[in-house]
Structure 1
Amino acid sequence: MKLSFRCLPELAGHVPEPVPARASLPEWLKAAPSLVASEVLGGAEVRTFKHCPPLIDALAQGVMFRLAADLDIAGGEISWDWSPPVTETARQTRSPVGLHVPEQAQGLPFGLPDGQFVLKFTNFWTVEAPGGVSLLFTHPLNREDLPFRTLAGLVDCDRYRDGFVHFPAIWQDADFSGRLPAGTPVAQAFPIRREVLELDIRAMDRGELARHLKVQDGLQQDPGLYRKSFRAPRER
């Protein structure tokens, strides 16, 4: 599937490009140990989540959109020192972030303290998807280390292909102070084909139960069975 991304001519080379999510895997994943001793299990070694293919695949799938400029956060205020080229004709902000006023989140269960604004990360790229394909934009998956949480949204990017999709986010870490560097992942996007889902829900029949038990027994005997037998090849 091909996705096309376009920025304003003046901004080419001045804003971080969207990248395949596997190109921005977090440093904590690379640094995490593979085996650790478990107190609960009397010191026996156990494999960590670094061995969990579904978790890794979630981190690596789709497209990652990244912060355009360094943000300095101190005392509840956000500032930046960034001067991208001026666009003479387009109506595009030059700010890497914007805001939604607190009232716009009224009645929503986001846990906003009274008076807190909703942050909005500016996206400088249009996205064009093939016909019948929408994009689900959401918080970078499994990235609880980030001090904000991007809200999810679904956009029909086969139709809305010439406008910008920006990313509202809730700032969650009230104690955060320092720099959020340019290039920080702010949203992960997944193409989704628009089609009606049919749900087939019932108890397993004898054949399905036999297959299920075979899988369960196999996973007990070989912890790597899912990765070797059930996981589809991933593009590099």
Structure 2
Amino acid sequence: MIRARCHPQLRSILPPPVPAAAALPEWLRSMPSEVDAASLGGVAVRTLKHCPPMIDALATGVIVPLATDLHIADGEIAWDWDPPILEDALISRAPVGLHVPEQASGLPLRLTCNAVVKFMNFWTLEVPEGWSLLFTHPLNREDLPFRSLSGVVDGDLFRDGYVHFPALWTDPSFQGTLPKGTPVAQVIAVPRGGQGLEIGEMSGDDIARNRDVQRALSEDRGVYRKRFRARDRDG
């Protein structure tokens, strides 16, 4: 469970974080289920709309939205937003900030402008003890004209602070308005500490089970979601 909180004077003007499953992109909804593949002589093939791992990635965790409309023109970012002055808080009133390019020295980043944009986040995010928060670019969202950088924060220790989202502007041709509510980061709760890894060889039983899985996947459409996800859900 991720707990999001904001200053009470900002509650009425901020779009709240939402479960990622409730913020699936419109292009996924409008994507056809099948298309004719010219490279295969016009044979009908299923699209990524039938790929549960990709869709599950889109639906995992929580989406943090852009606080207000951003107007982008000729390499400049502007906004019409006048949040209240918070006398009892130390937080920017601007929805975006900047990192100068020197702060990214040494990173293999291709900047399309002379700065790294920073989306300001006005929500504190808390998780139970022993959990961390992975912040990353919204998964599989290459349609966005920016790419948020990834980071991990101990969510139970930093529960009273704000995590902001540096991002590279990846589409220098973008002109127009990036609307309020645009996903700027996806937040996923992960157990703290290193992930274990064991390397080994398949046993005979492992190979047999693997063969059965591959056969089921090749013979039955939707078997992953119908069988394996159902088994996982039922415990």
Measured against the shorter chain, the TM-score band is: over 0.9
| Residue 197 (structure 1) shift | 2.8
Aligned to 1:192: 190
| Structure 2 residue matching 1:11: 3-state secondary structure | coil
Cα-to-partner distance string for 1:155-179 (whole Å, 9 max, x where unaligned): 0010001010000000000000000
Distance 2:97 2:197 in 1: 40
Distance 1:198 1:11 in 2: 41
Distance 1:188 1:5 in 2: 13
Distance 1:197 1:184 in 2: 32
Aligned to 2:121: 123
Please show how residues 56-75 of structure 1 align to structure 2 within 5 Å: 56-75=55-74
Distance 2:194 2:174 in 1: 43
Please show how residues 204-223 of structure 1 align to structure 2 within 5 Å: 204-223=202-221
Aligned to 1:14: 13
| Structure 1 residue matching 2:40: 3-state secondary structure | coil
Aligned to 1:27: 26
Distance 1:233 1:76 in 2: 48
| Residue 88 (structure 1) shift | 1.2
Please show how residues 59-208 of structure 1 align to structure 2 within 5 Å: 59-113=58-112, 116-208=114-206
Aligned to 1:225: 223
Which runs of 5 or more residues in structure 2 are unaligned? none
Distance 2:210 2:62 in 1: 33
| Structure 2 residue matching 1:218: 3-state secondary structure | helix
Range 62-71 or range 193-202, more displaced: 193-202
Aligned to 1:36: 35
Distance 2:11 2:209 in 1: 53
Distance 2:85 2:196 in 1: 49
Distance 2:41 2:200 in 1: 41
| Residue 200 (structure 1) shift | 1.7
| Structure 1 residue matching 2:9: 3-state secondary structure | helix
| Residue 41 (structure 1) shift | 1.5
Which runs of 5 or more residues in structure 1 are unaligned? none
Cα-to-partner distance string for 1:104-139 (whole Å, 9 max, x where unaligned): 0111011125x6100000000011110000000000
Distance 1:203 1:40 in 2: 37
Cα-to-partner distance string for 1:62-114 (whole Å, 9 max, x where unaligned): 0000000100001000000111111112111111100001110111011125x
Runs of 4+ residues deviating >3 angstroms: none
| Structure 1 residue matching 2:21: 3-state secondary structure | helix
Distance 1:16 1:176 in 2: 23
Distance 2:65 2:137 in 1: 11
